Structure 1
């Protein structure tokens, strides 16, 4: 949890004070002000910047948000948090938590699918019709568009069955498991050629172990991003609360 910024809410701080309190360099403080991460500092008659503890809270909040969602999204979120209502701010932050939880769930499903593939290595697979999914059902389960599944099929990553009369796609257990792994790898930022290589090596011992490492690394990164968001909590609250206060006249 961030340490409270000492002094009254409107106490004047120099650029060097803000740098020490926030953990950024003096130049980074100026750059982040220019990018709109923090509101413009007041200027004294001699041209020196004058900050308040709220600027420190905003910079600390930005550090955590940038670690969770990336710098571009963090800048946009902070701008919205400073101008929106408490309900809107809470919804925006909750959306980030939900996104991280969904990403984690995707990786856990992929790990489960990989374990099933490992257990069934060199074993004929028996799939019942009740286990099959339509393209709409599978897309919904993976939170992707049906067009993504069709693209993965074209790239040889996931191979569905088809109902002969309608030529409709139907995904059995092996295809569902493969789709889970592809979705997690794509979510981790792997391009199609890399995913194709990983999927092609799944039935080799080294390939399965390598995929397991990749998925675990993905889980670790999600955990790091989640902790960064949690660390930003108190500073985000300070920014949101200050946004609701009337502007002094």
Structure 2
């Protein structure tokens, strides 16, 4: 049983009240309670659930957190916030901001690498004549291991020429440009299938620009997720501090 009899409502919140104020359905409220996203509701003698405003704020915090890191990760994180100390919970939330900042830095590095490739090769494509590199030289230039280049080749992302009787790999400038793009996209968090698909567009007239557009889209997505996390800030703070004392000296603000 979930609902108290209808009528003017004062005091504890009903499931319907929480659903209306949080924007979730009745079943979603029950499911998120079962998953530990919100604490268990008190039960009256006749079995009705009784919620508090803290439950509403927890659901709002979950909505913002899910928009920032995804619902699966949000469902993993929030139950732990209810049982952690204030210091532990605050550190967990702070780590989310750090993670998003790191993703943004990686995407910016990818964008810079793509800009460098475009500057070196022009907008018509990635091919031009010039010197070649060995696998060791290219790995050093990209800051990866030679085994990483071999893995990319196994996955169809690179296709270096094989030379000499030892079948040594030789990377011409088109291969070097492709390797730099692979490294940029992988560092920005793109999986191998996505990188393979993007590489397939490079030899089209606007191939490199399309790849840059994808990276810009990722940056826009990271910005939107960061804003969602910021909007959830006050609700997350309420979750972190509900029923717990803040750390000593938490109210002090340094003035320089």
TM-score range normalised by the length of the shorter chain: 0.7 to 0.9
How far is 1:32 from its partner? Answer: 0.9
Which has the higher mean CA deviation after the structures are superposed, 196-205 or 51-60?
Answer: 196-205
How far is 1:127 from its partner? Answer: 8.6
Q: Which residue of 2 aligns with 1:115?
A: 115
How far is 1:221 from its partner? Answer: 1.4
Tell me, what secondary structure is at the counterpart of 1:47?
A: coil
Q: Which residue of 1 aligns with 2:15?
A: 15
Tell me, what secondary structure is at the counterpart of 1:244?
A: coil
Normalised by the length of structure 1, the TM-score is: 0.75
Q: Which residue of 1 aligns with 2:225?
A: 225
How far is 1:229 from its partner? Answer: 0.8
Cα distance in 2 for residues equivalent to 1:21 and 1:169: 63
How far is 1:124 from its partner? Answer: 4.0
Corresponding position: 1:182 with 2:193: no
Contact 1:82 1:243 in 2 (8 A): no
Contact 1:184 1:215 in 2 (8 A): no
Cα distance in 1 for residues equivalent to 2:210 and 2:158: 19
Residues 160, 12 of structure 1: alpha-carbon distance in 2 compared, 3 angstrom cutoff: farther
The count of aligned residue pairs is 225
Structure 2, unaligned stretches of length 5 or more?
Answer: 1-10, 247-256
Residues 241, 14 of structure 1: alpha-carbon distance in 2 compared, 3 angstrom cutoff: same
Structure 1, unaligned stretches of length 5 or more?
Answer: 1-10, 140-144
**Matched ranges for 1:181-200 at <5 A:** 181-183=184-186, 187-188=189-190, 190-192=191-193, 194-200=194-200
How far is 1:202 from its partner? Answer: 1.9
How far is 1:148 from its partner? Answer: 5.0
How far is 1:182 from its partner? Answer: 3.2
Normalised by the length of structure 2, the TM-score is: 0.73
Residues 160, 94 of structure 1: alpha-carbon distance in 2 compared, 3 angstrom cutoff: farther
How far is 1:48 from its partner? Answer: 1.1
**Matched ranges for 1:1-249 at <5 A:** 12-119=12-119, 120-121=121-122, 122-124=127-129, 134=139, 138-139=143-144, 148-158=148-158, 174=177, 177-183=180-186, 187-188=189-190, 190-192=191-193, 194-245=194-245
Tell me, what secondary structure is at the counterpart of 1:205?
A: coil
What RMSD in Å do the two structures reach over aligned CA positions? Answer: 3.6
Residues 179, 216 of structure 1: alpha-carbon distance in 2 compared, 3 angstrom cutoff: same
Cα distance in 2 for residues equivalent to 1:204 and 1:46: 69
Say which one has the larger Rg.
2
Residues 230, 159 of structure 1: alpha-carbon distance in 2 compared, 3 angstrom cutoff: farther
**After superposition, what is the alpha-carbon deviation per residue over 1:154-182, rounded to whole angstroms, capped at 9, x for unaligned?**
22425789xx9xx8999x97466223333
Which has the higher mean CA deviation after the structures are superposed, 33-42 or 115-124?
Answer: 115-124
